[in-house]
Chain A
Amino acid sequence: MSKLLECKGLSHAYGKKRALDDISFSVESGKIVGLFGPNGSGKTTLIKMIAGMIHDENGAVNICGNPVGEKSKSVVSYSPDRMAYSAGKKVTDLLDMYELMYEDFDRKSAEEKLCDFGIEISDYVGKLSKGNAEKLQVILTMSRKAKLFLLDEPFNGLDPVARENVIRIMIGCVPEDSSLIISTHQIGEIEQMLDEAIFIKDGGIVFHRSVDEIRSETGKSLSETYMEEYR
């Protein structure tokens, strides 16, 4: 399988605090990767670097062979860790915007999923509950035929049933040759869908391995491995 994502020597600091310290890894096509670590370990910073929100002068990020830029952003679908849409916009405005800016956006599919979750396209974003706003963001992100999906904390504010539905959307919407990187604290709920896991601590990668390997070698679930690693 070809390398979809390659990160080399990524570092970033916020003032004196080192958020990422010389991180290098790669992800092949068709993989679902979980990104785990305690709060402040650098998960969001790493995802933002891949999405092009933060530039590292010394490191390199390549997506489908292209450095982060116009070409890579056309194949990356990014959902930030918080609600980033203006409260004054309607859901239909966001659908229009995605349809306008992304050629691979499937509007019909997005509308169907929104309807399934009971979100009206005439609703204002600001009037949606926290959970529905998160669902909206995930649905818009997953309704693209991107090569790489980046979901940063997509389960914020979601009840267990909604989380299950979102997971179902994620599994159903990721094309076979695309990859998904998801950062979350709900390890137990997504463990079954993951191919690989990356554990981050203090800005560095602790390990990056296949989930099956971790389970077979340790005899423990991913959640238990996480607890052991970060206790």
Chain B
Amino acid sequence: MNKRSYKLESQEIKKVMVLMTVLIAAYSVLSVVCAFAESRSTSGLALTLRMILILISALGIICTGIFMVRRFYGILFTDEGLIKFSYPVRNSEHLKDNVRLAVMWLGLQILVFIACLGISEAVGKESVPIGPVGSYTGLVNLYKNNWMGEYMSAPGAKALAAFVIMAAAFAVIAVNIYISFIFTLTASNRICGKYNILQKNGVILIAGIAMFNIHLLVSWLLTRVEIMFNMGFLFTDKGFTVFGPDGAFVRDIEGPLVYILIYGVTAVIMYRISKNILDRKLDI
């Protein structure tokens, strides 16, 4: 990253920092309260607080996404773009910064949320300190209780690997959804700018249609791949004997791996097209 791009990014980081700090502080406080309620065996209250924690974090993640998309919308479709695109950086730097920051902030929020959930699960049930160890123990308990896997009888490398792969799949899907918003905004700027149809008000319509089609395509691709797997390409009809005792582990991770591949590739394609439009076909 060159000096000017670094300056651009540091400027953007400052702008979103306040919102992110407030959101992360909110779920951290809630999770501590939840853990406290759990330790006092007021399980009804703990359950309610945990639901609130999940709701607030979901809302926080959605708000962050909307906030970051709105920032990108501002530079493409409002007069703000006249100043931003005159900065001495490549046009696509604005895209790179926006996506990088969005992924960073969303990723941080998701990690904090998962950690808080783990803490609230662990404290009160076992004598573990609040912190990374407690959080991991809590998360493994959550996983054991909610996603039954034969290899999950005790935490270990496979459990951690499965958890990380599933978390990565979730992260890749979230990034894909975010990039598809950015892609449709960029494509709309190109279409609306060039053909003067619908103007800015048509962006939402185009964005909605494009997003729907992108996810329809990805879902279709996923279905094809899953059918291929389930038709015995890798597994026998007796049920996963090819991999022996690891069959359950492979079964659990093959879906997320497929998601990572397909959502990852489509995200990269959309990002590259957006970059090309900004660098070579901008119309402000």
Contact = CB atoms under 8 A, between A and B. Distances in A.
A59 interface: no
14 contacts: A52-B91, A53-B283, A53-B284, A54-B283, A55-B282, A57-B280, A70-B89, A78-B82, A80-B82, A80-B83, A83-B79, A100-B11, A101-B8, A101-B87
**Range of interface residues on A (Cβ < 8 Å):** 20 to 34
A97 B15 CA distance: 12
Given A51-B86, A70-B88, A80 B281 contact: no
A73 B94 CA distance: 15
Contact of B196 (A15, A55, A70, A86): A15
A53 B79 contact: no
A69 B280 CA distance: 10
Interface in A53-112: 53-55, 57, 69-71, 73-74, 76, 78, 80, 82-86, 97, 100-102
B11 A76 contact: no
B281 A55 contact: yes
B79 A80 contact: yes
B91 to A, nearest CB: 8
B158 interface: no
Q: Which 3 A-B pairs have the closest CB atoms?
A: A15-B196, A74-B88, A80-B82
Residue of A14, A69, A101 ringed by the most chain B CB atoms within 10 A: A101
A19 to B, nearest CB: 10
Given A84-B80, A101-B8, A53 B89 contact: no
Interface string B1-25: 0001001100100000000000000
B8 A48 contact: no
A82 B79 contact: yes
B87 to A, nearest CB: 5
Contacts of A14: 196
Contact of A73 (B11, B88, B195): B88
B90 interface: yes
Interface of B: 4, 7-8, 11, 79-83, 85-91, 195-197, 280-284
A162 B7 CA distance: 34
Task: Name the residue among A51, A71, A73 with the largest chain B CB count within 10 angstroms.
Answer: A73
A73 B85 CA distance: 9
B86 A53 contact: yes
A101 B90 CA distance: 13
A97 B82 CA distance: 14
A69 B82 CA distance: 14
A73 B87 contact: yes
A76 B82 CA distance: 13
Given A15-B195, A15-B197, A48-B284, 12 more contacts: A53-B81, A53-B82, A70-B90, A73-B88, A74-B88, A80-B79, A80-B83, A84-B81, A84-B82, A100-B11, A101-B11, A101-B88
B197 A52 contact: no
Contacts of A17: 196
A77 to B, nearest CB: 8
A9 to B, nearest CB: 17
Contact of A55 (B7, B79, B283): B283
B88 to A, nearest CB: 4
A119 B80 CA distance: 21
Contacts of B4: 70, 74, 101
A17 B194 CA distance: 11
Nearest to B74: A86
A69 B79 CA distance: 20
Contacts of A69: 90
Contacts of B11: 97, 100-101
B214 to A, nearest CB: 25
Contacts of B83: 80, 84-85
A100 B82 contact: no
Nearest to A14: B196
Contacts of B86: 51-53, 73, 76, 78
Nearest to A101: B87
Nearest to A75: B88
Contact of A53 (B90, B196, B282): B282
A54 B197 CA distance: 17
Interface string A97-131: 10011100000000000000000000000000000
A131 B30 CA distance: 49
A78 B79 CA distance: 13
Contacts of B7: 100-101
Contacts of B85: 52-53
Interface in A147-196: none
A100 B9 CA distance: 11
B143 to A, nearest CB: 44
Contacts of A102: 88
A116 B7 CA distance: 30
